[in-house]
């Protein structure tokens, strides 16, 4: 019996991510919480509030050992009170309505107060979604062992749209998935494991995610049928689950659907029959899902169909769908990841980095109000280091969202540890200078800089049906960190990391300190042993894991980096390169254009330089490459050793899971070090100053 309980406990610790709700060992703290948490008073009703109630019951019982009593009328005793802003009954609790005017639709207030000698906590939402977010916030405070008797918290999410994009295929596989198979589909059918989907909705809502697309942007033939009567009832069942957690459901669609699943021979956006087909199809979708969010579209990129076939532009294509969705309040996310993957890379003036700007800058202001351009954080493709996309700040009349990738496609694939929150912080804090100093990316995508109707942040999901959801237990930190950061972009990477570690592993200070350091240093460590100085792309084609310096699938003639016997890097200057640096506002363009001012970490992204060029650190480029690749391996060895010291403090499953990943990471780091250093030694003929072995 003991072994059965142990196995169940280990299973739950892996599965429950940061919602562990572990029993609290501090007896005095338990008694303090029980005085407040023994009663729930619920002054409004909805499916979302029911979810908040259920979560509070689950969490409080697990942590305190008692299930709270439930009341639906004001009670003159200690309690947790759930109410919406428009409930007049909350006057009993002394709420100042003027204070509540600062709340937006997803915002909430958590207020402690004395009620006739008893302590109580009010969870007040502008809407029922605010109540749910407040409930998760309170449970997080209790998990963190914080005082809840003196709370005055006002929270509004910084971003209106807080979204996750799934790249799941109905066969059950996931494009760029590193955590098992889809939780939605299996063998071209919908899954029957609705309990797992509900738990996923809980995790999303706990970090404030409010939008979700459930299929791959590369829409194959079978996924095209998701918008047909055959499959819409199943989509509606999933949408019902997410709706009860405040999450709107979206679908990725095939631009050529009128041909693929209709009876038309064209998908021309200006064709009247095509327009009528989409209008009828959208109306049908809303019969099944009245609050359907809308569509995600990848068009005219990487062999996906789009309006270019008919001599039309992206605004023509996006507006076609926007008009069909507009009567129902639906919106279109039109991805800006557009480039010609068949172009001749031998031409050093050809530059994939320029493509998105070249395609979309000229169309600013031509998109409908319910069309949103979805822009990747960098101009290329989620590399470990690249500059911020120049589209941010250049589009002043077009709704837009920033796209991150939580899935670690080019950053270790959840085998290698790479905590991405520090990278995302750099992107959000980047100053575009579009309206002078202070025109940061975060101020653009949160809608405060320009009067967009829709704005926010989206990202590619990193979850699958593995027991621990993310393959590597430590990769849960990226999932959690993404949600927390886009809710509040002012949170530091250190705050987010510390929250996740304590919620996931508890409060042993040795564990907290060690895991925090691993997470916070991991992005730099990964960069050290992979592609140097912003050059990128030195990776195996197809699966994108491990080094292949000249093997990338779109550079068969040898280069995304133009290395030769004299030097390395891509000349993207206006003076004599591709001209990419000129896509930025002058303040940034001048920095990137000049060798003297270009940041070292992006040097090879913007400049082709001799191997003997000295960085601002004083190192030559070639010596920097040698040093960082040797250092990166040493750092991975150190992380693995530090994790091994935690063996007796972490349950067996999670300990072995992470240890196994560190073993794979070390093998990967060694291969990167040896192949990169050998490649550049043979190209440059310059030996390592420290006389280390390079084959």
Mean pLDDT of 363-392: 98
Q: Which pLDDT score, from 0 to 100, does residue 559 have?
A: 61
3-state secondary structure 187-219: CCEECCCHHHHHHHHHHHHHCCCCEEECCCCCC
Q: Which pLDDT score, from 0 to 100, does residue 227 have?
A: 98
Q: Measured between alpha carbons, how far is residue 531 from residues 149, 534, 599, 638 in Å? A: 50, 7, 16, 21
Model pLDDT for residues 54-95, shown as the tens digit of each residue: 999 999 999 999 999 999 998 888 999 999 987 666 777 777
Q: Which of 121, 155, 189 is the last residue of a domain?
A: 155
Catalytic one of 128, 381, 386, 403:
381
| In a domain? residue 12 | no
Catalytic one of 302, 431, 435, 619:
302
3-state secondary structure 298-309: CCCCCCCCCHHH
Tokens of 230: 């055959």
Do 461 and 560 share a structural domain?
A: no
Tokens of 190: 């919908």
Do 614 and 482 share a structural domain?
A: no
Is residue 431 classed exposed, middle or buried when 0-12, 13-18 and 19+ CB atoms within 10 A define those classes?
middle
Residue 263 sits in a domain whose CATH number is 3.20.20.80
Asked if 478 and 667 count as a contact pair (C-beta separation under 8 A), the reply is no
Residue 657 sits in a domain whose CATH number is 3.90.1330.10
Q: Which pLDDT score, from 0 to 100, does residue 99 have?
A: 72
Do 201 and 80 share a structural domain?
A: no
* N-term to C-term CA, the chain: 56
| In a domain? residue 503 | yes
Model pLDDT for residues 130-139, shown as the tens digit of each residue: 999 999 999 9
- Report the sign of the C-alpha dihedral through residues 407, 411, 412, 414, in that order: negative
Model pLDDT for residues 403-460, shown as the tens digit of each residue: 999 999 999 999 999 999 999 999 999 999 999 999 999 999 999 999 999 999 999 9
Q: Which pLDDT score, from 0 to 100, does residue 98 have?
A: 73
User: In 397-489, where does DSSP find H-type helix?
Assistant: 421-429, 441-445, 476-487
> Is residue 302 flagged as an active site residue?
yes
Least confident of 208-217, 303-312, 429-438, 600-609: 303-312
Q: What share of the chain is helix, strand, coil (3-state, %, to 5)?
A: 40, 15, 45
Residue 108 sits in a domain whose CATH number is 3.30.379.10
| In a domain? residue 585 | no
| In a domain? residue 478 | yes
Do 451 and 526 share a structural domain?
A: no
Nearest to 140 by CA among 491, 629, 377: 491
Do 390 and 254 share a structural domain?
A: yes
Model pLDDT for residues 102-153, shown as the tens digit of each residue: 899 999 999 998 877 788 999 999 999 999 999 999 999 999 999 999 999 9
Catalytic one of 44, 155, 326, 409:
409
Nearest to 336 by CA among 301, 371, 293: 301
Residue 340 clears pLDDT 80, i.e. is over it = no
Model pLDDT for residues 508-566, shown as the tens digit of each residue: 999 999 999 999 999 999 999 999 999 999 999 889 999 999 877 555 444 688 999 99
CB neighbours of 429 closer than 8 A, spacing ≥ 6? Answer: 440, 441, 442
Do 348 and 292 share a structural domain?
A: yes
What is this structure's pTM?
A: 0.97
Nearest to 412 by CA among 302, 529, 515: 529
Tokens of 397: 């009349």
Q: Which pLDDT score, from 0 to 100, does residue 556 have?
A: 47
Q: Measured between alpha carbons, how far is residue 262 from residues 188, 235, 276, 299 in Å? A: 20, 19, 12, 18
Do 521 and 449 share a structural domain?
A: no
Q: How confident is the model at residue 339 (pLDDT cuts 50, 70, 90)?
A: confident
Q: Which of 466, 491, 516 is the last residue of a domain?
A: 491
Do 230 and 113 share a structural domain?
A: no
Mean pLDDT of 229-249: 98
**Structural domain for 76, as ranges:** 21-155
The per-residue pLDDT of the chain, averaged, comes to 94
Give strand pairing partners of 250.
213, 294
Nearest to 298 by CA among 289, 308, 288, 290: 308
Residue 362 clears pLDDT 70, i.e. is over it = yes
Q: Which pLDDT score, from 0 to 100, does residue 348 have?
A: 63
Q: How confident is the model at residue 302 (pLDDT cuts 50, 70, 90)?
A: confident
Model pLDDT for residues 451-486, shown as the tens digit of each residue: 999 999 999 999 999 999 999 999 999 999 999 999
| In a domain? residue 616 | yes
Model pLDDT for residues 183-199, shown as the tens digit of each residue: 999 999 999 999 999 99
Asked if 37 and 60 count as a contact pair (C-beta separation under 8 A), the reply is yes
Mean pLDDT of 348-375: 94
Maximal C-alpha separation, the chain: 82
> Is residue 381 flagged as an active site residue?
yes
Q: Which of 131, 155, 179 is the last residue of a domain?
A: 155
| In a domain? residue 113 | yes
| In a domain? residue 33 | yes
Do 371 and 248 share a structural domain?
A: yes
CB neighbours of 176 closer than 8 A, spacing ≥ 6? Answer: 167, 405, 407, 409, 460, 544
- Length of the chain counted residue by residue: 695
- DSSP E strands in 501-608: the ranges are 567-568
| In a domain? residue 521 | yes
Do 462 and 524 share a structural domain?
A: no
**Phi and psi, residue 364, nearest 5°:** -55, 125
Encode burial over 315-339: b for 16+ CB neighbours within 10 A, e otherwise.
bbbbbbbbbbbbebebbbbbbbbbb
CA distance 2 to 21: 21
> Is residue 644 flagged as an active site residue?
no
Do 505 and 470 share a structural domain?
A: no
CA distance 420 to 483: 12
CA distance 545 to 629: 17
Q: Which pLDDT score, from 0 to 100, does residue 8 have?
A: 78
- The set of long-range contacts for 259-266, using a CB threshold of 8 Å and a minimum separation of 24, is 260/221, 260/224, 261/224, 261/225, 261/227, 261/228, 266/310
CA distance 574 to 583: 9
Q: How confident is the model at residue 342 (pLDDT cuts 50, 70, 90)?
A: low
User: Structural domain tally of the chain?
Assistant: 3
Mean pLDDT of 555-583: 87
Do 506 and 408 share a structural domain?
A: no
């Amino acid at each position: 019996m003991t072994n059965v309980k142990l196995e169940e406990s280990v299973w739950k610790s892996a599965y429950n991510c940061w919602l562990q709700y572990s029993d609290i060992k501090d007896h005095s703290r338990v008694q303090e919480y029980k005085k407040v948490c023994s009663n729930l008073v619920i002054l409004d009703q909805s499916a979302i509030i029911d979810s908040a109630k259920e979560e509070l019951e689950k969490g409080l019982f697990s942590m305190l050992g008692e299930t709270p009593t439930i009341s639906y009328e004001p009670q003159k005793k200690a309690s947790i009170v759930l109410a919406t802003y428009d409930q007049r009954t909350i006057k009993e609790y002394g709420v100042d309505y003027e204070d509540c005017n600062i709340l937006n639709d997803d915002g909430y207030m958590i207020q402690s107060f004395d009620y006739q000698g008893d302590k109580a906590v009010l969870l007040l939402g502008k809407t029922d979604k605010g109540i749910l977010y407040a409930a998760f916030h309170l449970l997080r405070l209790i998990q963190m062992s914080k005082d809840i008797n003196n709370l005055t918290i006002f929270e509004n999410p910084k971003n209106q749209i807080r979204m996750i994009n799934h790249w799941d295929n109905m066969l059950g596989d996931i494009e760029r998935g590193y955590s098992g198979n889809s939780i939605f589909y299996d063998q071209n059918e919908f899954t029957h494991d609705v309990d797992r989907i509900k738990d996923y909705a809980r995790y999303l809502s706990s970090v404030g995610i409010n939008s979700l697309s459930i299929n791959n942007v590369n829409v194959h033939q079978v996924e095209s049928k998701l918008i047909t009567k055959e499959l819409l009832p199943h989509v509606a069942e999933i949408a019902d689950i997410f709706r009860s957690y405040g999450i709107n459901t979206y679908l990725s669609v095939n631009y050529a659907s009128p041909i693929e699943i209709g009876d038309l021979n064209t998908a021309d956006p200006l064709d009247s029959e095509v327009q009528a087909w989409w209008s009828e199809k959208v109306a049908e979708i809303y019969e099944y899902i009245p609050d359907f969010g809308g569509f995600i579209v990848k068009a005219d990129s990487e062999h996906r169909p789009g309006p270019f076939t008919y001599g039309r532009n992206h605004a023509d294509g996006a507006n076609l769908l926007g008009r069909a969705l507009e009567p129902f309040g639906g919106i279109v996310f039109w991805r800006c990841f557009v480039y010609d993957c068949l172009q001749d890379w031998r031409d050093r003036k050809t530059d994939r980095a320029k493509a998105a700007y070249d395609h979309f800058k000229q169309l600013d202001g031509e998109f409908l109000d319910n069309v949103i351009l979805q822009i990747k954080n960098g101009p290329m493709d989620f590399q470990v280091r690249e500059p911020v996309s120049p589209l941010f700040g250049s589009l002043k009349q077009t709704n837009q969202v920033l796209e991150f990738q939580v899935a670690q496609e080019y950053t270790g694939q959840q085998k290698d540890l790479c905590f991405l929150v520090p990278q995302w912080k750099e992107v959000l804090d980047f100053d575009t200078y579009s309206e002078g100093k202070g025109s940061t990316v975060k101020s653009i995508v949160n809608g405060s800089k320009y009067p967009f109707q829709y704005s926010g942040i989206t990202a590619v999901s990193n979850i699958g049906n593995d027991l621990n959801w993310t393959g590597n237990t430590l990769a849960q930190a990226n999932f959690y960190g993404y949600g927390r950061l886009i809710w509040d972009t002012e949170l530091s990477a250190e705050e987010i990391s510390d929250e996740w570690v304590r919620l996931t592993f508890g409060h042993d200070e040795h564990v907290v300190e060690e895991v925090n350091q691993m997470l916070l240093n991991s992005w730099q460590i990964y960069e050290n042993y992979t592609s140097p100085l912003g050059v990128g792309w030195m990776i195996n084609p197809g699966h994108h894991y491990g080094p292949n310096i000249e093997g990338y699938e779109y550079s068969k003639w040898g280069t995304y980096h133009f290395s030769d016997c004299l030097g390395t890097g891509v000349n993207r200057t206006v003076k004599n390169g591709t001209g990419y640096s000129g896509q930025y506002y002058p303040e940034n363009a001048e920095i990137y254009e000049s060798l003297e001012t270009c940041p070292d970490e992006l040097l090879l992204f913007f400049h082709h330089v001799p191997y003997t060029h000295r960085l601002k650190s004083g190192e030559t480029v070639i010596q920097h490459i040698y040093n960082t690749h040797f250092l990166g391996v040493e750092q991975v060895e150190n992380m693995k050793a530090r994790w091994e010291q935690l063996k007796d403090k972490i349950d067996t499953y999670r300990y072995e899971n992470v240890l196994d990943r560190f073993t794979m990471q070390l093998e990967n780091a060694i291969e990167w070090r040896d192949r990169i250093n050998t490649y550049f030694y043979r190209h440059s003929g310059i030996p390592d100053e420290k006389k280390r072995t390079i084959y």
